[in-house]
Amino acid sequence: MMAQTNLSKTNLSKTKLSNIYLDNNATTKPTAEVIAAVVDAMERVWPNPSSIHRAGQEAKHAVEIARGQVAQLLGVKSREVTFTGSGTEAIGIAIRGTLGVCAKGKPKKNVIITSAIEHSAIGSLCQQLEAGGLARVVRLPVGLSGRVDVTGLESMIKEHACEGGHEVAMVSMQWVNNETGVIQPVHRVGEVCDRHNVVFHCDATQWVGKMPTDLSADDSPKIDLLNASPHKFHGPKGVGILWARRGVRLVSVTPGSQELGRRGGTEPVPAALGAGVACEQAKAWVEDAKLIERARVLRDALEAGILAACPGSVVNTAVDHDSRIWSTTNIGFPRLQAEALLLGLSERGVCVSAGSACASGSLDPSPVLLAMGVEESVAHGSVRLSVSRETTMGEVEEAIEVIRGVVAQLSRAMPG
């Protein structure tokens, strides 16, 4: 390990530093228009939207305009959209709120069906609920493809319905995996849940704002609850989105009169207005198929270039390019350490990550990759690279050369 992280300061001093950001699944740079909207809100519409005076109502009106912009991106009605403090909070409201409703019924519904490759916002919450005796958690299997196997979902729902007293309350699953970019079978999950009257919560953090989304369309997945994060598509941090289909009930996790009683607390006006602008810009972008294809070409060039430049490197999924979102690739460098790779690249001005940014402080291999069955020697040396709609081909080509150099240097330092 020490040999891998001992990157020569002499070599660094002779190396031209890049400035390339390839960690866009973690967060994206806000656009100039988003920043302007946030600043304007802080300077002009800073009063409390719940106040009945004119200044407060002007702030409330601004928030409602932003809510409408979010609704248009999702293809839903404004009244169905709730602003939260983050995507993680939106997930908490969806899961805890659904359990709160189900706990009042008889028989008690407290089973959550999910998978082992969910973001920690779902995975850790499910563990916490299970440890506290508030829920029973069942996890669907996943293979090297990186796609959750839902063939047994229907029988799983039926099985728990026959146990007496412990029925399925909800299914909670990602639309796109945040580490591999694999698109999950949300259409199939929605069909099964709809047939059995089970709530389907979809974590759409890596989908919304990157791909066309129209939740009211006939060919849309049958989703009941959905969360998104504007900072994943060039919006501000400090605000999340929760959509609840009309008729879906939630027990308030943070009681209050705001957000139709779904989420108490003063609305984050500057962040909400920035989110509205980000949604408007994202809608225009995702509706242009040529722009999406251009981004996919960039990801494919990055991936192919790294594989060619670094013999032995592998892509950590068995699915084809069309089964992954355009933004993401996850590449393993056997026998190397992700920590050393990240440090070496960072020192040369290239930003990537080792799996979820929320777990980047851990030196352990990604639980997602291990759950998929990726060999531990590969998982230990795996990094996630993610482009944005602002990434350029020049940045991709430069990043490949930097990665080639860092991998070669670390490989030479390996014993034997």
Pairing label, strands 350-351, 20-21:
parallel
- Give the DSSP letter of residue 401: H
* CA 27 distance to own-chain centroid: 10
SS3 state at 365: coil
User: For residue 176, what are the β-bridge partners?
Assistant: 183
Instruction: Kindly state the tokens that stand for 377.
Output: 């020697």
Cβ atoms of 251 and 228 within 8 Å: the answer is no
Instruction: Kindly state the tokens that stand for 205.
Output: 């953090």
Q: Which position among 102, 202, 351, 358 bears the catalytic label? A: 358
- Give the DSSP letter of residue 254: S
What letter represents residue 208's amino acid?
V
User: For residue 81, what are the β-bridge partners?
Assistant: 243
Q: Is 126 a catalytic residue?
A: no
Instruction: Kindly state the tokens that stand for 131.
Output: 């440890």
Sign of the CA dihedral 146, 151, 152, 157? Answer: positive
Instruction: Kindly state the tokens that stand for 384.
Output: 């996630």
Distance CA 176, CA 213 (A): 13
Active site residues: 358
